[in-house]
Amino acid sequence: MEVGFLGLGIMGKAMSMNLLKNGFKVTVWNRTLSKCDEVVAHGASVGETPAEVVKKCNITIAILSDPAAALSVVFDKGGVLDQICSGKGYIDMSTVDPETSCKISEAIALKGGHFLEAPVSGSKQPAETGQLVILAAREKALYEEAVPAFDVLGKKYFFLGPVGNGAKMKLVVNMIMGSVMNAFSEGLTLAERSGLNPHSLLDVLDLGGIANPMFKGKGPEMLKDNYSPAFPLKHQQKDMRLALALGDQNAVSMPVAAAANEAFKKARSMGLGDLDFSAVFETVKLLKHSS
């Protein structure tokens, strides 16, 4: 199967390499062209524009940073819309808001093309090992056509119905994750400041009802101030912002998520946006040191 792939950031690089490893023919495009070199060395071809990739491939997947990037790659000159047509499918796996997905979906339908939104849950390592959870919505026929690729990329995929439902599900999940990361950071700081060994806290948490892979994987690294990016903090803050907007639209009060968003904004203002989202821990430690 031949697929196009737009966006070779942390996720896109891992996912396209995974497709190549599993025998797919892959044509890639990335705004910063030099980031294509490694996947090309593993057998990918390169398109000069998103339109060129779509022209060559019947299915094109994208995973881009945010709504502005997702829209630009579709609507700008040389973008997806220039070549999408009947018989061609576009699958956007970026984390965006439902409005962005709807805009893309409508524009592609007007050209006779097919669209699936399919944001993913899971980070750099699940992307490398094909263990993502895929949250798809919009066109069931394209979802079914993409199953061979989803089988490589994910451990489980869901079809959630009308366009926007994939984006909403992803934002709800990441709103919870961002809030939990803040509570975890406060807990680690409270343990240390009140005279406990924070490593013992990690051991205790891991044996109880709120044990989870995030505490287990990120906790020891946070205690070493290692924030090598798997999920960049700037993207987590974008997800909090988009989830809060969804809360506004549905009159859902989310004071915990709003407070967590402020902490991620603070972290961005401290220049931590490109580090892993667990670097929000630094904002809690900063408050500790200023008292």
Query: Is the CB of 54 or the CB of 263 nearer to ligand O=CC(=O)O?
Result: 263
| 3-state secondary structure at position 134 | strand
Rule CB under 6 A: say whether 34 interacts with ligand NDP.
Answer: no
Distance CA 27, CA 56 (A): 8
Residues 217, 234, 243: CA angle, nearest 5 degrees: 90
Distance CA 55, CA 48 (A): 11
- Catalytic annotation on 140? no
Query: Is the CB of 150 or the CB of 201 nearer to ligand NDP?
Result: 150
**Residue 275 contacts residue 232 (beta carbons within 8 Å):** yes
Query: Is the CB of 114 or the CB of 238 nearer to ligand O=CC(=O)O?
Result: 238
Q: Which of 13, 170, 234, 238 is catalytic?
A: 170
- For 239, residues 6+ apart whose C-beta sits below 8 A from its C-beta are 95, 170, 171, 174, 175, 178
Rounded least distance, CB 239 to ligand O=CC(=O)O, Å: 7
Rule CB under 6 A: say whether 124 interacts with ligand NDP.
Answer: yes
Rule CB under 6 A: say whether 246 interacts with ligand NDP.
Answer: no
Instruction: Tell me the chain's radius of gyration from C-alpha atoms.
Output: 20
Which 165-224 positions form the footprint of ligand NDP (CB under 6 A)? none
Query: Is the CB of 132 or the CB of 191 nearer to ligand O=CC(=O)O?
Result: 132
97 binds, among ligand NDP, ligand O=CC(=O)O, none (CB under 5 to 8 A by kind): none
Which residues are known catalytic residues?
170
